[in-house]
Structure 1
Amino acid sequence: MKQNRFGTVSAEDAAAFDRDGVVCLRNVLTPDEIEHLRTAVRKQMDQLGVSATGYDFEALARQVWDTSKPVETGGANRFDMQAMKELVLSDADSRPLLEEGEASEDGLFFYDVAAWKRDTGLREVAFDSILPSIAAELLGANYVNFWEDTTFVKAPHTRQKTAFHQDLAYFQIEGEQCVIVWIPLDPANSENGTMQYVRGSHKWNETYAPNVFVSQTPIASSPEKRCPDIEAYPHKYDIVSFDVQPGDVIIHHVMTVHGAGGNPSDHWRRAVSFRYCGDKIRYRDRMGAIQQVGVTHKLRDGDRLFASDYPMVWPKPWPGLLLADLYQQPETMTGSGD
C-alpha cells in the first residue's frame, strides 16, 4: 500500500476522501483507546437528568410532537427546548423522523458534548492517538486544532432518526479545512443506525442551515438555506454507509451532508465524534451556530484558533509528548472531574 508523506493514510483513502467527502479507515484505534472512550461515555450517561449538557433526543422528540405537554429536560439547560418545539410545530414541512415499528418507551437517543475538558481518557484519544495526524494529512494542514467532541448514543429500540444535515453552520468557524471523525464504540450497521453520507455533497458549493436533529426544521437564526429533504427522496442522492467495528473510524468533510437511521435492533450503538480544524480555518461568530460549552476565549472574527479552548494537537513539539497530560482544566469546568 502506497503511503503519504505522514505515513498515516493510504493514497487510495486520501483520494476517496477528496472525491467522496467521506472515508472509512479500518483498525485505527486500539482496544485501550476504545475503552477510554466507552468509560467517558458511561460517565456522561450516568449524569443524564442532572447534567446541564446531556439530552435524550428520543424523549424530546416525543414531547415535541405531543402538543398537550411542555418540554422537560431535567437539569439540561444548554438549549431552549420549548422554543425548539414551537419552531418545529410552526414549520409546515416538519414531520417526525422515525423508523417503522410500534411506539416504545425503551428508546434513548443520548447527546452530550465537551467530555474532553474533564475526562483524561477521552482527551488522550483526541490529542495523543493517531487521529490528529490523520486529520492533518486529509486536510493538507500545516497544523491542526481540536475543536470539540460530541457523544451520540442510540439504545436498542430507538426509532428516532438523525435528520440529514451539514456541519459547517453549527460551528463558529470560517473555511472548509475541517473534518469530523465518527468513532463507533459498538459494531454499527444498517440495522442499528450507522451513519449515512451523501457522496460528493462537499462539492455542492452550498452551505445549509443547522437543523434540530429530530426534524429537518432549520434553526431560525441561521441565514443559510434549508438542507434538502433527503429523507423524503433518498433515491435522488448517492448515499453511502459503512459497516464498522470498534477501532474503525469514519471521517467526513465539514461540508458533507449526512444523517443516521434509528436503532430498532436489540443492540446498542454508542459513538463519539471529534472535530479537527486546519491552519486555514478562522474564527467566525456565525449566526445560528450552536454556542459551545465553557469557552473562555475572546477571539474575534478572522482570528486563528489560537486559544486554550482549541488546543493545537498536531504537530507535537517533539515526538512522544503526551499533550493530554498538559491540559489545564479551566475554573469553569471545576467540579466535573474524571
Structure 2
Amino acid sequence: MSTVVDFIPGVPDYSTVHKPVGSLFDVDQCEWNKFKLSQDQIDTFWKDGFLLNVPVLTPQQCDMILEDYRYFLGGEKHPGMDMLYEYHSNQSGDPDNVLMHALGHWRLTKHFHDLAFLPKVVVGVSQLLEPSGNMTPVRFWHDQLFAKPPKHGGNVAWHQDYSYWTRTSPMCHLTVHIALDDQTEENGALKYIPGSHRWTRDGGKPLPVTDFNFKDMESIKTILTEEEKANFKPVCGNLKKGEASFHHALAVHGSYGNRSDSPRRAAVLNYFKDGVCSNTDEDLLNGIKIPKGQKMEGQFFPLVFDPKWADARN
C-alpha cells in the first residue's frame, strides 16, 4: 500500500502506507546489514530475555518524535483520535500516579509511522525472533506511548507481554522500548527480571494475568513459584535518550513511578514473526478483525523487514 487514505475527512491514516513517508531517517541510504546485532548481543538476549542500551535514535530524532508526542497530549477529542486502538490520559485513574498510555498512534503522524520501520530497530528484531540469530521476515503488531509526568508519574505493574497477546499464535513476538528521555531509577525507568522469559505454565503458556494494579507492584508474586520468587531480582534499564531495550514476549518487566523533576516518555514498538496467525474471531485491536487461524497481515500489520531486502543491497 502506498497511497495515504483519510480515515476521517482531512485526517490521513498512515496505516495505508507500508513504507516510510516522512523525514525521520533516509531510507534511500539504508544499508540493512550494518544495523545487525552482534553475536554477543544475541546471546545476552536469549540468556536474560532482554537486551539493554541499544542506540536507535539520535537526540535530534527523539526531539522530532517528541514534537509529534504533543499531538496525543491534547485529549480524546483531538482530530483523528478515533483511529487509536486505545487512549488513556491517565490509565491509573489516580491523579497522584498519572500514566498516559496510547496505542495506534503510528496511524496519525509521519514520525511515529516511520518509527515502526526504523532499520536500527527492525533488523535487530529480525535477528532476535529466531534463537539461532538468523534473520526472519518481521511484521508490525502495534505501538504504544507511555508518559509519566514529573513528580506524580504512575507505575506499570510487573507483567509478561504475551499474557495479553494470546489472541495471536504462535508466540513469536518481541517488544522494543525506546527512551525519549533519559531513564533512571528516580523517574521510573523500565526494569526487567533476568531469566523470566523461561517462566511458563502448562507446556509453555505465559504466566496467568494478575490484577493490573497501578499502585501495587507486587501482585505478580501471588502466582509465582518459590523458585521464581527467589530469582525475582530486578535489573534497571537506565536507558539514555535514544537508546532502546529489546525484550522477549515472556520477559517479566515493569516500572515504578516518576518522582523526579523531569518527564519520562517512551515509545514502544511491538512486532511478530511473519506467519503468526489470529487466534480469535473477536477484535485483535479496536475494530480490527482477522478470522481465527488466518495469517496476520494486511493494512494494519505491515511487513517492516524481509532479509531479502538486505540481500538485495549486497
TM-score, structure 1 length as denominator? 0.68
CA distance in 2: counterparts of 1:263 and 1:286, whole angstroms: 39
2:56 alignment partner, SS class: coil
**Hey, what does 1:115 align to over in structure 2?**
105
Mapped contact 2:35–2:119 kept (Cα < 8 A): no
Structure 2 residue 212 is the aligned partner of structure 1 residue 212: yes
TM-aligned CA distance change 1:274 to 1:142, over 3 Å: same
RMSD: 3.1
- Residue 116 of structure 1 and its aligned partner are, at CA, apart by 0.6
Q: Distance in 2 between matches of 1:292 and 1:313?
A: 19
Counterpart of 2:279? 284
User: Is the contact made by 2:45 and 2:247 (CA closer than 8 Å) also made in structure 1?
Assistant: yes
CA offsets, 1:123-145, max 9 Å, x none? Answer: 11111432111100111252100
Q: C-alpha distance in 2, partners of 1:139/1:216? A: 32
Structure 1 residue 27, shift from structure 2 partner? 2.1
Tell me which residue corresponds to 1:71.
none
Q: Is the 8 A contact 2:192 2:236 kept in 1?
A: yes
**Are the equivalent residues in 2 in contact too, given 1:29–1:129 (CA < 8 A)?**
no
Q: What per-residue deviation string (whole Å, max 9, x for no partner) do you get for residues 249-283 of structure 1?
A: 01110111111010011111000100010135322
* Equivalent residue number for residue 37 of structure 2: 9
Letter of the aligned partner of 2:143 in structure 1? Answer: D
- The secondary structure found in structure 2 opposite 1:134 is helix
What is the aligned length? 261
Is the contact made by 1:127 and 1:313 (CA closer than 8 Å) also made in structure 2? yes
Task: Tell me: CA distance 1:157–1:203, structure 2 relative to 1, closer, same or farther (3 Å).
Answer: same
Residue 56 (structure 1) aligned to one of 82, 86, 89: 89
1:183 maps to which of 171, 178, 182: 178
User: Corresponding residue for 1:146?
Assistant: 140
1:20 aligns with 2:48: yes
Aligned CA distance change for structure 1 residues 108 and 216 (closer, same or farther; 3 Å): closer
2:197 corresponds, among 183, 202, 207, to 202
Distance (Å, rounded) in 2 between the aligned partners of 1:49 and 1:262: 27
CA distance 1:318–1:278, shift in 2 (3 Å)? closer
> Is contact 2:62–2:241 with CA below 8 Å preserved after alignment?
yes
Q: Deviations over 1:170-207 (max 9, x none)?
A: 22211232111001110111010001111111112231
Question: Residue 294 of structure 2 corresponds to which residue in structure 1?
Answer: 303
5 Å matches for 1:297-336? 297=289, 299-315=290-306, 318=309
Q: TM-score, normalised by structure 2?
A: 0.73
CA 1:229–1:39 in structure 2 vs 1: closer, same or farther (change >3 Å)?
farther
The answer as to whether partners of 1:114 and 1:293 remain within 8 angstroms in 2 is: no
Query: What residue identity is the alignment partner of 2:175?
Result: I
Q: CA deviation at 1:284?
A: 1.3
SS of residue in 1 equivalent to 2:207: coil
Alpha-carbon distance in structure 2 between the residues aligned to 1:160 and 1:128:
29
Shift of 1:317: 7.0
What's the counterpart of residue 41 of structure 1? 69
Question: Equivalents in 2 of 1:106, 1:238: separation in Å?
Answer: 27
Q: Distance in 1 between matches of 2:121 and 2:181?
A: 19
3-state SS of the aligned residue for 2:117? helix
Aligned partner of 1:97 in structure 2 is none
Partner of 1:179, secondary structure, is strand
Distance 1:237 1:23 in 2: 18
Amino acid at match of 1:311: P
For structure 2, the 5+ residue unaligned runs are 1-32
Please list every run of 5 or more consecutive structure 1 residues that lacks an aligned counterpart in the other structure.
63-104, 218-225, 322-338
1:230 to 1:13, Cα distance in 2 relative to 1, 3 A:
farther
Counterpart CA distance in 2 for 1:168 and 1:38 is 28
Shifted more, 248-257 versus 29-38: the winner is: 29-38
Q: 1:161 aligns with which of 155, 160, 164?
A: 155
User: Per-residue deviation at 1:26?
Assistant: 3.0
Q: Is the 8 A contact 2:35 2:120 kept in 1?
A: no
In structure 2, the CA distance between the partners of 1:134 and 1:107, relative to structure 1 (3 Å rule), is same
What are the within-5 Å matches in structure 2 for residues 62-77 of structure 1? Answer: 62=94
Match of 2:241 in 1: 246
The alignment partner of 1:214 has SS state of coil
